[in-house]
A and B are shown apart, each in its own frame.
Chain A
């Protein structure tokens, strides 16, 4: 489990780790919105610059994270290729790619860029904020909203984030076990998927049941001790930086 870094809290004593989780969450949401509105290369450059700086400041293990994100590499590649073929425009100068347009490739790169930005935001958020703190920050935001069971929603999101690395871990273990029993020898991809997906689903459901029992055994309740948040000047400055990137994306067409 310990070798998986994606979506996992990595304890360090940095300004991002110490940042008020409410402001950090707000900052990350602002950056996610900025990613949605980004349309020009300078927008992406600004976003990548800020996020890469955040990675460095938070001292997150960049290489290990890249390794964990191999799976997303495939999705990003698919997004790029599908857009390149789907979007009409001037044909690609090299032969052998019928339907592949330059405009499509550019649109694909933009989509892929957005996806990478969102993945980076999630990784920074979860890498510098423990799930409990993230959950408490979410609860804090949802509390004034009427008819919203804030504790339940926060728990659901917290558990989802907790289960994702567990699923990755189980997948790796299962893949290795199946490989050691000659799975790679099977040519039919459907059968290969079947041998991985069903046991993985079964194991994940069993694990989830155990987590539920363990939470019940420790008196899980939606009426819990409320978190005490304290924000510093530096936290507001960091939020200000995120807002600056957001306005740069919105007002610089």
Chain B
């Protein structure tokens, strides 16, 4: 069942730069999609349209068949976006306070907010750090906190914008485990990255953007061999299987 769809989605910046052009994309419930592309290919702009943060110049985004532009607040609740730089996502001065920001914006009763915060922190394994300052966390923990902040709003789809940037090996593993756990729990996952080797073994679909256009869309096996044409490193050596790419033991 298609839950999220874009039709002829185009975004042109005020200076005339075309960020994305005629993107037609259908996302089915429970999918695990990797959205790849070189720097400036329009990945982040596309992601920000999917939950109504940006409004298209042309085309539209449909969530469960309803245009996102009609009710962007509802779209943001259902489509969670984890930002590339977690530092800019934090608004609280303790971990728990930051996670509570989303549910409080939904005007939920205080007891429910507290429950959602506890659940979200437990889901990412940060319960012990609930009173820490977000900036005192490690890189991996910061990403997990950013995920918890989104999880507390119970989204159906979670978009991760470059979740592995700047992380060391343990940080990558921590974030990867959280992403996989969320997918196993039934959430639809979209991971935006150009570091395919860290995630591809677990994805079902690979989409490549190039100069604002969606140039490839298919199973990982179908698309991967053509990735280098679009400035995305082909992570497989000759004879290697996609499953062998996993960073998990």
Is this pair of chains taken from one and the same complex? yes
Q: Which of A213, A217, A219 contacts B106 (CB 8 A)?
A: A219
Beta-carbon contact of A217 and B76 below 8 Å: yes
Indicate if A90 sits at the interface (CB-CB under 8 A): no
Interface size bracket, A side: 20 to 34
Q: Which of B92, B105, B113, B135 contacts A221 (CB 8 A)?
A: B105
Beta-carbon contact of A219 and B73 below 8 Å: yes
**Per-position contact with A for B108-141: 1 when CB-CB < 8 Å, else 0?**
1110010000000000000000011101100000
Beta-carbon contact of A220 and B105 below 8 Å: yes
A122 to chain B, nearest CB (A): 15
Beta-carbon contact of A221 and B83 below 8 Å: no
Q: Which of A1, A210, A214, A225 contacts B108 (CB 8 A)?
A: A225
Indicate if B93 sits at the interface (CB-CB under 8 A): yes
Q: A220-B105, A225-B110, A228-B110 are in contact. Are A132 and B97 (CB under 8 A)?
A: yes
Beta-carbon contact of B53 and A207 below 8 Å: no
**Per-position contact with A for B80-102: 1 when CB-CB < 8 Å, else 0?**
11010101110111100100111
Beta-carbon contact of A225 and B103 below 8 Å: yes
B128 to chain A, nearest CB (A): 14
Indicate if A216 sits at the interface (CB-CB under 8 A): yes
Beta-carbon contact of B132 and A218 below 8 Å: no
Could you say which residues of chain B place their CB within 8 Å of the CB of A162?
91
Indicate if A58 sits at the interface (CB-CB under 8 A): no
Could you say which residues of chain B place their CB within 8 Å of the CB of A49?
none
Beta-carbon contact of B53 and A219 below 8 Å: no
Q: How far apart are the CA atoms of A87 and B105 in the complex, in Å?
A: 53
**Per-position contact with B for A203-228: 1 when CB-CB < 8 Å, else 0?**
00001001101111111110111111
Q: How far apart are the CA atoms of A213 and B51 in the complex, in Å?
A: 11
Indicate if A105 sits at the interface (CB-CB under 8 A): no
Q: How far apart are the CA atoms of A213 and B136 in the complex, in Å?
A: 23
Q: How far apart are the CA atoms of A216 and B54 in the complex, in Å?
A: 10
Indicate if A11 sits at the interface (CB-CB under 8 A): yes
Beta-carbon contact of A223 and B133 below 8 Å: no
Q: How far apart are the CA atoms of A220 and B10 in the complex, in Å?
A: 26
Indicate if A190 sits at the interface (CB-CB under 8 A): no
Could you say which residues of chain A place their CB within 8 Å of the CB of B77?
219
Q: A217-B51, A217-B76 are in contact. Are A130 and B103 (CB under 8 A)?
A: no
Indicate if A2 sits at the interface (CB-CB under 8 A): yes
Could you say which residues of chain A place their CB within 8 Å of the CB of B150?
217-218
Q: A8-B133, A9-B94, A11-B94 are in contact. Are A218 and B85 (CB under 8 A)?
A: no
Q: How far apart are the CA atoms of A111 and B48 in the complex, in Å?
A: 50
B108 and chain A: residue at smallest CB distance: A225
Indicate if A107 sits at the interface (CB-CB under 8 A): no
Indicate if B107 sits at the interface (CB-CB under 8 A): yes
B104 and chain A: residue at smallest CB distance: A225
Q: How far apart are the CA atoms of A219 and B109 in the complex, in Å?
A: 16
Indicate if A35 sits at the interface (CB-CB under 8 A): no
Could you say which residues of chain B place their CB within 8 Å of the CB of A11?
94, 131-133
Could you say which residues of chain B place their CB within 8 Å of the CB of A132?
91-93, 97, 100-101
Q: Which of B83, B97, B100, B113 contacts A217 (CB 8 A)?
A: B83
Q: Which of A210, A219, A226 contacts B105 (CB 8 A)?
A: A219
Indicate if B179 sits at the interface (CB-CB under 8 A): no
Among B55-90, those with CB < 8 Å from A are 73, 76-77, 80-81, 83, 85, 87-89
Indicate if B149 sits at the interface (CB-CB under 8 A): yes
Q: Which of A1, A9, A214, A223 contacts B91 (CB 8 A)?
A: A214
Q: How far apart are the CA atoms of A130 and B46 in the complex, in Å?
A: 35
Q: How far apart are the CA atoms of A8 and B134 in the complex, in Å?
A: 11
Indicate if B209 sits at the interface (CB-CB under 8 A): no
Q: How far apart are the CA atoms of A8 and B113 in the complex, in Å?
A: 24
A227 to chain B, nearest CB (A): 8
What are 19 A-to-B residue pairs whose CB atoms are below 8 Å?
Answer: A8-B133, A11-B131, A11-B132, A131-B91, A132-B91, A210-B88, A211-B88, A213-B48, A213-B83, A214-B89, A217-B89, A218-B101, A218-B150, A219-B73, A219-B102, A225-B103, A225-B107, A225-B113, A228-B110
Given contacts A9-B93, A211-B88, 11 further A-B contacts (CB under 8 A): A1-B135, A8-B93, A130-B93, A131-B93, A132-B97, A213-B48, A217-B83, A217-B150, A219-B106, A221-B105, A225-B106
Enumerate chain B interface residues (CB-CB to A < 8 A). 48, 51, 53, 73, 76-77, 80-81, 83, 85, 87-89, 91-94, 97, 100-110, 113, 131-133, 135-136, 149-150, 153
